[in-house]
A and B are shown apart, each in its own frame.
Chain A
Amino acid sequence: MTDVTHHMPEPKIVTSAELDTLAPSPRELMRRRARSHAGLIIGMTIIALFLIVAIFAGVLAPHDPYAQTLSNRLADPIWGPKGNWQHILGTDALGRDVLSRLMYGARLSLYISFTAAVIAAVIGVTLGVTGGYFGGKTDAFVVYIINVKLALPVFLVALSIAAITGGTVTVLILLLGFLTWDRYAIVTRSLTQQMRDQEFILSSLAAGASHLRIIFRDILPNLMNHIIIIVSLDMAVIILIEAALSFLGLGIRPPTPSWGLMVSEARAVMFFKPHLIMIPGIAIFILVMAINMAGDGIRDVTAPEGRG
């Protein structure tokens, strides 16, 4: 939320095209705000780090995350009395290397949260824009659907879906997408309603453009900023929901390495090997925080006065 007046345009040769506006373009302003926004930079950096680890987990991880050695269970991490460089963060209850599972877990967390967020966005934006644009009975129906969704408890849906379909990663992603679309719908509906009565839409209608064209050409682009912000915050929420579902036994199936599952498995020994529950918990914490900071940063940069 930096004050724009602190950034005066630097003197430079201006072309005739640019002579029209001596003030910096909105995009240039955004870039400058972005460069000095601490939260955005820190957040993006951390996300980038996690992304690198996730993509190159195959190369970076010292062990196979599934390889179990029942004779070397709950080995100490490097700072423990019997710690060694073989297993820097120790091993879990089935003798699997914690560091490797942590790295592969990053991959899973990022993949699941991004895909599910996109699915949620597709569902939510479709409903929201449809309701906000067409109004009347369509809108009433959309509002009704949103309310039904909000009134259904998360875990009932999760348990039932997991039981009916068997709980694969694909199903989980779809489930998570279905659990978080409401915010997209609410925000896009409200924004679409506001836009609908504005001049540029009315003139497009007068020019004979079809509804679909208006939605895709005029409305959606203006929603993109908001959608991106919600996607980023949604990803954070999805990571937490996945962790909670795995904690309750409704999420990722073992032996797949997921941070939520690691926390759930580690609670069995939390009083004796607290690092096993702290480490994945902190990983979740840091990633979610980074995503939140980045999301906040994007919001600040693209719409400093807006509510978002």
Chain B
Amino acid sequence: MTHFLTRRLLIALLVAFTVSIVGFALLRLSGDLAAVLAGEDASAEDIARIARQYGLDRPFYVQYFDWLFNALRGDLGNSLFTHESVWEMITSRLGVTVTLAFASLFFGLLIAIPLGVLAAVRANTWVDRGSLFVAVMGQATPNFWLALILIYVFGVWWRGATVLGVRLAEIKIFGVQLSGLPISGGDSWLHFVMPVITLATFVMPAVMRITRTGMMEVLSSDYVRTARAKGLSPTKVLFKHSLRNAILPVVSLAAVQLGFLMSGSVIVESIFALNGVGYLAFQSIIRIDFPVVQSILVILACSYILLTLFADMINAKLDPRVRLE
């Protein structure tokens, strides 16, 4: 196990290192950083001066290694545009993004797994087809479109709408007035409702399908048929023997989804005004604030790798066959 771990960690480091180089190159090639810093009406001399000031006139590899050596010592530098410490900028926003990612994953799984199991157990019936249809619908909806529609429906239309004589704004669910759903900011859990719905819709379909497929495989396996033949109750068979094995691929998928959620929440964060790492990354990329982008890239790469590592470990624990790698 230790050998497995160390090997994976080494790969992780190598990947993180590569990502930071590729990211650095792409970022610096994407625009004239000195010109952005110098502003709209800067002359050539001004830009050259800024380039010298910020060390942008040095060869790329020198700039990269300068950043790398500082980063390895723990100094991630300051934002070129706000002079804030990069570490502070990222950590103050990490909470929002992580909350968003985990909540979306959680609710996605909450809906997807039971649905997948149900579809597998009732394979080829309308229940199965219906769930598949729901899954496909979720996969086909562009998330930015869904977010805007949610804002329109729950943020604006709901407040004034009257359906069948009932003022929709006054309906309450779990004691929360639906018209009270905030559409921007991140102060309370209410602010996360619509963002999480948007992202969970994206997570849910793939998980549901994999659960269903895995479950169907297990249900038709010899092992389960034997258990059934022995007379064990169907529920016991279902949960104890089938679900455990069917979940294996879900764990890996969940890890991958989580990774995507962490780096892919840009659109949701910007539309719902959530101050998270995703939006920070997007803004920083646009204006080539490279200390911020570099650090976020590496952090995201590492978290993605750690997540897949974690998933592999869980898989290894649940399925003895996997351990022999």
Interface check A156, CB cutoff 8 A:
yes
**Complex interface: stretch among B49-57, B88-96, B300-308:** B300-308
Interface check B29, CB cutoff 8 A:
yes
- Chain B residues with Cβ below 8 Å from A212 are none
> What's the minimum C-beta distance from A37 to chain B, rounded to whole angstroms?
11
Cα A150 to Cα B144 with chains together (Å): 22
Interface check B173, CB cutoff 8 A:
no
Contact of B304 among A150, A243, A248, A296 (CB under 8 A): A150
Interface check B65, CB cutoff 8 A:
no
Cα A62 to Cα B290 with chains together (Å): 48
Interface check B136, CB cutoff 8 A:
yes
- Chain B residues with Cβ below 8 Å from A150 are 256, 259, 304
Closest to A152 in B: B19
Asked if A244 meets B11 with Cβ closer than 8 Å, knowing A151-B301, A154-B264, A155-B266, the reply is no
Contact of B16 among A151, A305, A308 (CB under 8 A): A151
Contact of B267 among A143, A151, A247 (CB under 8 A): A247
Asked if A147 meets B300 with Cβ closer than 8 Å, knowing A1-B123, A155-B282, A156-B293, the reply is no
Q: Is the CB of B30 within 8 A of A164?
A: yes
Contact mask for chain B residues 293-316; partner A; CB cutoff 8 A; 1 contact, 0 none: 100010011001100000000000
Contact of B213 among A144, A161, A267, A308 (CB under 8 A): A308
Q: How large is the interface on A (under 10, 10 to 19, 20 to 34, 35 or more residues)?
A: 35 or more
- Chain A residues with Cβ below 8 Å from B301 are 151-152
Q: Is the CB of A236 within 8 A of B139?
A: yes
Cα A147 to Cα B259 with chains together (Å): 12
Contact of A160 among B27, B145, B249 (CB under 8 A): B27
**Complex interface: stretch among A16-24, A101-109, A222-230, A280-288:** A280-288
Closest to B28 in A: A160
- Chain A residues with Cβ below 8 Å from B161 are none
Q: Is the CB of B30 within 8 A of A163?
A: yes
Asked if A147 meets B142 with Cβ closer than 8 Å, knowing A156-B297, A160-B29, the reply is no
Best-buried of A3, A157, A160 by chain B (most CB within 10 Å)? A160
Interface check A2, CB cutoff 8 A:
yes
Interface check B23, CB cutoff 8 A:
yes
Asked if A144 meets B14 with Cβ closer than 8 Å, knowing A151-B19, A308-B213, the reply is yes
Q: Is the CB of B304 within 8 A of A151?
A: yes
Cα A277 to Cα B151 with chains together (Å): 13
Contact mask for chain B residues 207-236; partner A; CB cutoff 8 A; 1 contact, 0 none: 000000110110010000000000000000
Interface check A254, CB cutoff 8 A:
no
Q: Is the CB of B27 within 8 A of A271?
A: no
Cα A46 to Cα B19 with chains together (Å): 40
Contact of B140 among A159, A248, A285 (CB under 8 A): A285
Q: Is the CB of B136 within 8 A of A296?
A: yes
Q: Is the CB of B144 within 8 A of A244?
A: yes
Pair count A-B, CB < 8 A: 128
Contact of A240 among B11, B142, B300 (CB under 8 A): B142
Contact mask for chain B residues 256-294; partner A; CB cutoff 8 A; 1 contact, 0 none: 100100011011000000000000011001100000010
In chain B, positions 136-155 with a C-beta closer than 8 Å to chain A are 136-137, 139-145, 148-149, 152
- Chain A residues with Cβ below 8 Å from B216 are 1
Q: Is the CB of B141 within 8 A of A156?
A: no
- Chain B residues with Cβ below 8 Å from A95 are none
> What's the minimum C-beta distance from B313 to chain A, rounded to whole angstroms?
17
Cα A147 to Cα B19 with chains together (Å): 9
In chain A, positions 198-257 with a C-beta closer than 8 Å to chain B are 236, 240, 243-244, 247-248
Interface check B156, CB cutoff 8 A:
yes
Cα A143 to Cα B305 with chains together (Å): 12
Contact of A277 among B15, B143, B148, B281 (CB under 8 A): B148
Interface check B114, CB cutoff 8 A:
no
Closest to B303 in A: A151
Interface check B82, CB cutoff 8 A:
no
Known contacts A156-B293, A236-B139, A292-B140, then 8 further A-B pairs from the complex at CB < 8 Å, ordered by chain A residue: A147-B305, A151-B16, A153-B281, A155-B266, A267-B148, A289-B137, A289-B140, A293-B136
B interface, CB within 8 angstroms of A: 11, 14-16, 18-19, 22-23, 26-27, 29-31, 123-124, 129, 132, 136-137, 139-145, 148-149, 152, 156, 213-214, 216-217, 220, 249, 256, 259, 263-264, 266-267, 281-282, 285-286, 293, 297, 300-301, 304-305
Q: Can you list 6 A-B pairs, Cβ within 8 angstroms, ordered by A?
A: A144-B14, A147-B11, A151-B305, A155-B285, A160-B30, A289-B140
